[in-house]
Amino acid sequence: MPFSINTVRALVLRYLFLYTRHSVRLVELVFWPLVDLLVWGFLTTYLQKQGAGQFPTAISYLIGGMILWDVLFRSQQGVAISFLEDVWTRNLLNVFVAPVRTVEYVAATCVVGVLRVGVTLVVLAVVAALAYQFKLTSLGLGLLPFLGNLILFGWFLGMISTALIMRFGQAAESLAWAVPFFIQPLAAVFYPVSVLPAWLQPVAMALPCTPIFEGMRTVLSGQPVPWGNVQSALLLNLVWGAVAAFFFAANLRYVRKTGLLVKVATQ
């Protein structure tokens, strides 16, 4: 069978139509490169401002930030990926037809998020201690409230991710992974908020995870646990939790009313 330019052209058009039909797919083309540029650009700016004597401390900040970021990310994944598992296995309608309340369904996915965090945290803590002499326990009394706030925020981001996927269908599946990275450049994971442009700093401080990462660096620098940061994170989590619950419930009502839930479940 001879090679056909027309066949190639038809297939290329088919894939291009997929991108132009769903705006979420177009966002991916810009989103990931932009996140990489922002995160590593701000990190480079921060490291350039550190003296040679501060470099070992900066490295410990990076390792600690990476571990705590993974706590948030795995917590969010537990909620969002659990929903997608039901979509992929064509089990979503069975769940919502069964006598399962929405709050029970969300609670179960949150528990899965905690289990995912537990496994990941143990592995990362052991490897960091053996390979880099970084001990997660060096965070002292702040470790548990730091982890607790990050897990809570991860749950809320997972609920937002799930609501968006319900609303926009499987074309938006990538949001299960992308939503946490929307906020990563602003979350002060690897560098302090002061590195950000002044107009972005208030936005960064509106995220519950930002005071936690700032607090982590405070503790690793040898200072006491900044309990004010923990309190700020908890208060922000209460606000984000209310917004996430409302957003999830509103979208669930909408997809049920319009029949979009059936479409997502059968795709």
On the question of pLDDT at 266 being above 60, the answer is no
- Model confidence at 55: pLDDT above 60: no
What predicted TM-score, i.e. pTM, was given to this entire model? 0.86
The reported pLDDT for the residue numbered 46 is 75
d(CA 34, CA 41): 10
> How far apart are alpha carbons 256 and 265 in whole angstroms?
11
Residue 220 · residue 57 · CB < 8 Å: yes
pLDDT in tens, 76-111: 998 998 888 888 888 777 777 777 788 888 888 899
Q: Are 204 and 210 in contact (CB under 8 A)?
A: yes
The whole-number pLDDT of residue 216 equals 92
Sorting pLDDT into bands at 50, 70 and 90, what band is 212? very high
Closest CA to 202 of 220, 191, 188, 219: 188
> What is the percentage of the chain residues whose pLDDT exceeds 90?
37
Q: Domain residues of the chain, as ranges?
A: 55-266
Query: CA-CA distance, 110 to 75, in Å (whole number)?
Result: 7
| Cα angle: 114, vertex 209, 69; to 5 degrees | 60
- In the chain, the amino acid numbered 23 is S
Q: Provide mean pLDDT across the span 223-243.
A: 95
Predicted confidence (pLDDT) at residue 248 exceeds the cutoff of 90: yes
The pLDDT tens digits for 133-183 are 888 888 888 899 999 999 999 999 999 999 998 888 777 788 888 889 889
pLDDT value of residue 201: 94
pLDDT at 29 > cutoff 70 = no
